[in-house]
A and B are shown apart, each in its own frame.
Chain A
Amino acid sequence: MDMNRGHDIAEKIKVLASFVVVITAIYVGVLSISSPNQMNAAMIRLSANTANNNNKISFHNLVLGGSPFLGKFSAPVTIVEFGDFQCDRCARFAKYTEPQLNQTYIQTGTANLVFKYFPIYGPDSISAAMAAQCTNDQGKFWKYYDILFKDQGPPNFGWASKENLKKFASQIPGIDIQKFNSCFDSQKYLSFVQKDFAFATSLGLQGTPTIVIEKSDGSSSQILPGAYPFPSFKAIIDKVTGSV
């Protein structure tokens, strides 16, 4: 009888332990995705940057620094995308949300979009970022952006090899491929990409895509860590522009 009771207790402990482990796994997972702490930390760092470093993340500073952008200089809202060309959620953002943002806010002059490199997947991501910045020299970044995200393969499986990145570049109509190859082979933008990465980590960003929405002077910053759909952007942009 005692043995039976002992067996029952052992079973109950096992069940309890299993549920605790499952719940912990769920908790860690939830933290890794939405992570309000990450958002808060990034918001604090963003505010510190704005206050101390002369609006480091403002549209003008980003564009003067050489980051690719889309839209008008005079747009009151700036959307900054921190992305990696190997990240599938970034591809989702590029395919589904960015076109809607472009049509609704960028073409109408309400917002502009700046891209910052945050290559978290490894060497192929850095190569893709360098190649993309080389296309920006010729004003072809957004075409290359579309091609890379459309033809994206599994990360670190060779789709973003140096040869393939050159092939993708050659698909852009009107590109000077000699100039591109020379820029890419010389790793002209390696330090630029590394600076972007360091900038993203200094803001406390921990994943891709991370989108920062703010007024063009760098104030009223809002962070969306993930491939948020268009309605989320609409809610924030309307709030920032005061049209709600």
Chain B
Amino acid sequence: MRITTSLNNLRLEKTMKIIRTAVFVSLLSIITSSRLVFCRWPYLVLGAAVTILFWIIFNVFDQLLFFSPVMTFYLPDDAVQGFIISNITSVLVGAVISMNLYVIRHSKGLKPGILSLFSGSTMSVLSSTCASCSSLGFLLISTFGGLAVTASTFLTNYQMPLRVISILLLIWAYYSISRKLTRSCVLDYAFSTKKYS
């Protein structure tokens, strides 16, 4: 009995150690790759520009930022949660796009993490629109009737969970591109053939 308990403890300790190491390695690869990319100013500027662009888009969608008749930004209590989420999303989209571009330009053998970036950013844009209040929702409802009512109701009611999922997808995209940048050593056949032939 005692032996079983100590064995279980040992297994648990081992698992915890593995998890801790994995988290540490992941964080290290994220930090290293971020420094690698963002210490070059074009990528930093690109990341900042994309972040600002998405910040504007999200806040226009959320009806917090208005450009006419006067430029106004306001943050009512009911919008604080969404505002925090859209800030996180826009920073992540900026960072991930910048890192993907770095991979495309500097690491020819590596595949950019487009799928997770694409699904994360599209989902966040779509879920941040108030589907039923906006003219898109109205257009869908007037065209497709009951089915569109269900779809736009779903988008409206599950807006927050969908936005959280999109953040998770973007974190995954950031993590996977970081891992690719720090782990992979890919031989550039085109370069080596030219150089050594």
Give the chain B neighbours of A236 by CB distance below 8 A. Answer: 69
B8 touches A (CB below 8 Å): no
Q: How many B residues, CB 8 Å from partner? A: 45
- Enumerate chain B residues within 8 angstroms of A33, measured Cβ to Cβ: 60-61, 63, 129, 134-135
Total number of residue pairs linking A and B with CB closer than 8 Å: 134
Q: For the complex, is B94 an interface residue (Cβ under 8 Å from A)? A: no
B112 at the interface (CB under 8 A from A): yes
Give chain A nearest CB distance to B88 CB in angstroms: 18
Cα–Cα, bound, A95→B74 (Å): 13
Among residues of B, the one whose C-beta sits closest to the C-beta of A123 is: B149
Decide: A29 near B129, CB < 8 A? Known: A21-B122, A231-B72: yes
Main secondary structure on B side of the interface with A? helix
Question: Nearest-CB distance from A161 to chain B (Å)?
Answer: 15
Taking a contact as CB atoms closer than 8 A, the residue among A29, A38, A154, A208 that contacts B126 in the complex is A29
Known: A207-B133, A207-B135. A235 touches B70 (CB 8 A): yes
Indicate if B108 sits at the interface (CB-CB under 8 A).
Answer: yes
Q: Is the interface of A mostly helix, strand, loop or mixed?
A: helix
How far does the alpha carbon of A86 sit from the alpha carbon of B58 in the complex, in Å? 22
Please give, as numbers and ranges, the residues of chain A lying within 8 Å of B69 by CB-CB distance: 222, 232, 235-236, 239
The tally of residues in A whose CB lies under 8 Å from a CB in B reads 54
* Interface check A226, CB cutoff 8 A: yes
Q: Per-residue CB proximity of A213-230 to B under 8 Å, as 1/0?
A: 000000000100111110
Q: How far in angstroms is the closest Cβ of chain B from A55?
A: 23
Give Cα A236 to B193, complex, Å.
68
Q: How far is the CB of B186 from chain A (nearest CB, A)?
A: 11
Could you say which residues of chain B place their CB within 8 Å of the CB of A89? 63, 130, 133
Q: 27 pairs across A/B with beta carbons < 8 Å?
A: A1-B189, A1-B190, A1-B193, A18-B118, A26-B57, A28-B136, A30-B60, A31-B135, A31-B136, A32-B129, A32-B135, A33-B135, A34-B67, A38-B135, A89-B63, A92-B76, A95-B76, A121-B132, A121-B149, A122-B153, A154-B156, A157-B157, A206-B138, A207-B137, A226-B66, A229-B66, A239-B69
Give 9 nearest A-B pairs by CB, closest first: A32-B136, A206-B135, A229-B74, A32-B134, A154-B157, A235-B69, A206-B138, A18-B118, A235-B70
